[in-house]
Amino acid sequence: MSTESKDSLQKITNFGGNQCWLARRLRPSSEDELLSILERHDGATIRAAGSGHSWSGIVAHADIVLDMSAFNSVALINTNGQHLVRAGAGCRLQDLLDRLHAATDRTLPTLGAIKKQTISGAISTATHGSGRQSLSHFVVRVRAAVFTGSGGPEIREFDGGPELLAMRCGLGCTGIIVSVDLQTVPKYLVAETARRYDSIDQVIATFESNPLSTFTFSPYSWAFTAFERRAIARQPQSLPSRAKALAFRLYQLILIDTLFHLGVVGSRALGPAAVKFLQKHATKTLLTDVERVDNAEHVLTTQHDLFRHEEMELFVREADLSFVLRFLRAAVEFFSGDASTFPDELAARLRQANLATMLEGKHGSFVLHYPLFVRRILPEETLISMAAAADGPLYSVSIFTYDPPRQREPYYAFCLFVARALRTLVGARLHWGKHFPLSHSEIAVLYPELERFRAICRTHDPHGVLRNTYTARVLDLAPGKREDDRSAAA
C-alpha cells in the first residue's frame, strides 16, 4: 500500500491502483499505543491495513488506517505436540517463511500465488492456494484488540468456539489483530508437470493423483493447461536436479511472469485481434510434459505482482464446474463480439432468471485478455470464508484485467454480469478481498453462518468503529451504531 502526505492526511492507494482515498495513517508500536488510538477514535472509522493487496474496498475510505508493521515478530511455539508459529499481525508472508525456514524444518501448510501480504491481511480474507484450505483454516489462536461491552478497547485472545472461527476470516471487522498462531507442517517439495488437455473431465481427473494442481482455460483457443502438482517428502536433491529446479525458476520468471505478461499488456494496446492471437497461441510455447521438483515455496508462488492488475474470483462446487466454464466461455464470446447470442441451453436459463436484460448493449464491449485461472479449495472451518461449510471441494475461477485503473469499466460490467448470473444459477461465492460487485442482499443466502458472524462483529465493535462503505454494502454493517445493531446486540 503506498501513501503520499497532504497535511496530516495521506493519500492511500492499493496495489491494483483502483482504491485511492485520504486518511490519517497511524502506526502503533505497542499494544498500549494501539489501545490508546482505539480509545481516542472519537467517532472516526478505523480499518487495519495489511500490505494493500486487496482489490475490493475492504480497507478503503476509513478515516484512520492502522499500519501494523511494527508488530512483526516471529516466534515458534510447541504446545500439546503441535508445532505452531506465532506471527505479529504486520509480518509479511515472505518474512515469516524466511524466519521459519531459518529456525526449523517446518513451513506453512499452504501458500497463495504471492508472498507479499501480511499474515493478518492474508487470513482476514481467507487467502488460499490450490489443493488445501486457505491459511485461515490453519489459525489456532488470534490475539486482538476488541471493544468491550462498555465500548472501551482491550486485548483478548481467541482460541476456540465461534469467535475463533469468526476471527479466522474476519474481514477487519472482528477486532484489530495483534498476532496470529498458525499450524505448521514439515517442509516439503512439490513436483509439477504442465500438460495440455481438451476436456474438463480429463483435467478434474488429474486432481486425484495431483491434488495441488491448478489449471488455465485460455480464451479463444479454449484449451486447458493443467499445472499438475503433488507434494513429496523432502529428500536430498542431487546436483543435476538442483540445477534443473533453478533453471525452472528462471524459466518461470522470464517466460511466464515477465514475457507473457509483457505480451498481455502489449496486445491490449494493439487491439482485440492481437489479444486473441496471443491468447490462442501463448500456451503452445509452454514447456509441457517435463517434471520439475523444487521446494514448495518456489513451485506454488510466482511473481504475479510484477504487473499491476485486478482480479475477481468466483468459488463454485465441483458438480457445477463444467457448466460454469461453458457459461464463462459463452459470456467471453458474447462480450468480445465473437458470438451474437448465448447457446440455447444458457440463453434459456438466463431468461428464466431474469438476467438476459443485463446483456443489452454489452455485445462487443469487453475483450478478455488473460486466461481464466482455476484452483481447488477444500472445505474450511470458518464462519464466512469462501469455502466455509462447503459440502466438498470448491473450485475457484479467477478473471483478470491488466487494463489501467481508469479504463476498467467494461471489465467491471463483465464481472457484474458473471457474478450476478453465477450467484443466481449455481450459488457462486466471491473472494472478499478481490473485485466484489455484489451486495449483502444478494450474497447473504450463500453463507449459513453470516448472521452469527455479524453478531460477533457487533459484540467486538458495538459502536461500529471498525467499518467502512465496503462493510456497509457487503455485510450490512454500516459505520456507527444504528437502531437495528442495538436491538440485535441486546
Ligand X SMILES: Cc1cc2nc3c(=O)[nH]c(=O)nc-3n(C[C@H](O)[C@H](O)[C@H](O)COP(=O)(O)OP(=O)(O)OC[C@H]3O[C@@H](n4cnc5c(N)ncnc54)[C@H](O)[C@@H]3O)c2cc1C
Binding residues for ligand X, rule: CB under 6 A, are 15, 47-54, 58-59, 68, 89, 112-114, 117-118, 120-122, 124-125, 127-128, 171-172, 176-177, 304-305, 431, 433
> Is 45 in contact with 163 (CB distance < 8 Å)?
no
Rounded to a whole number of angstroms, the minimum distance from the CB of residue 471 to ligand X is 9
Nearest approach, Cβ of residue 170 and ligand X (Å) = 6
Which of 15, 147 has the CB closer to ligand X?
15
In whole angstroms, the minimum distance from the beta carbon of 166 to ligand X comes to: 12
Give 48 or 367: the residue with its C-beta nearer to ligand X. Answer: 48
- 3-state SS of the chain? CEEEEECCEEEEECCCCCCEEEEEEECCCCHHHHHHHHHCCCCCCEEEECCCCCCCCCCCCCCEEEECCCCCCEEEEEECCEEEEEEECCCEHHHHHHHHHHHCCEECCCCCCCCCCEHHHHHHCCCCCCCCCCHHHHEEEEEEEEECCCCCEEEEEECCHHHHHHHHCCCCCCCEEEEEEEECEECEEEEEEEEEECCHHHHHHHCCCCECCEEEECCCCCCEEEEEEEEEECCCCCHHHHHHHHHHHHHHHHHHHHHHHHHHHHHHHHCHHHHHHHHHHHHHHCCCCCEEEEEHHHHHCCCCCCCCCEEEEEEEEHHHHHHHHHHHHHHHHHHCCCCCCCCHHHHHHHHHCCCHHHHCCCCCCCCCCCCEEEEEECCECCCCCCCECCCCCEEEEEEEECCCHHHCHHHHHHHHHHHHHHHHHHCCEECCCCCCCCCHHHHHHHCCCHHHHHHHHHHHCCCCCCCCHHHHHHHCCCCCCCHHHHHHHC
374 close to 215: Cβ distance less than 8 angstroms: yes
Name the grid cell of 348.
434459456
Least Å distance between CB 1 and ligand X? 6
| 181: nearest Cα among 93, 73, 86 | 86
Q: Pick the closer one to ligand X by CB: 115 or 268.
A: 115
Q: Is the CB of 276 or the CB of 431 nearer to ligand X?
A: 431
Least spacing, CB of residue 31 vs ligand X, in Å: 12
- With respect to ligand X, which residue has the nearer C-beta, 147 or 342? 147
Nearest-approach distance from CB 358 to ligand X, in angstroms: 27
Closest CB to ligand X among 114 and 399? 114
In 3D space, the residue among 437, 314, 428 whose CA is nearest the CA of residue 372 turns out to be 314
Q: How far is the CB of 121 from ligand X (least distance, A)?
A: 2
CB-nearer residue toward ligand X: 107 or 118 = 118
Closest CB to ligand X among 297 and 333? 297
Q: Name the residue nearer to ligand X (CB basis): 128 or 329.
A: 128
CB of 126 to ligand X, least distance (A): 6
**At closest approach, how far in Å is the CB of 176 from ligand X?**
5
Cα distance between residue 128 and residue 295, in whole Å: 18
Which CB sits closer to ligand X, 68 or 321? 68
Least distance CB 216 / ligand X (angstroms): 14
Nearer to ligand X, 219 or 433 (CB): 433
Q: What is the nearest approach in angstroms of ligand X to the Cβ of residue 398?
A: 8
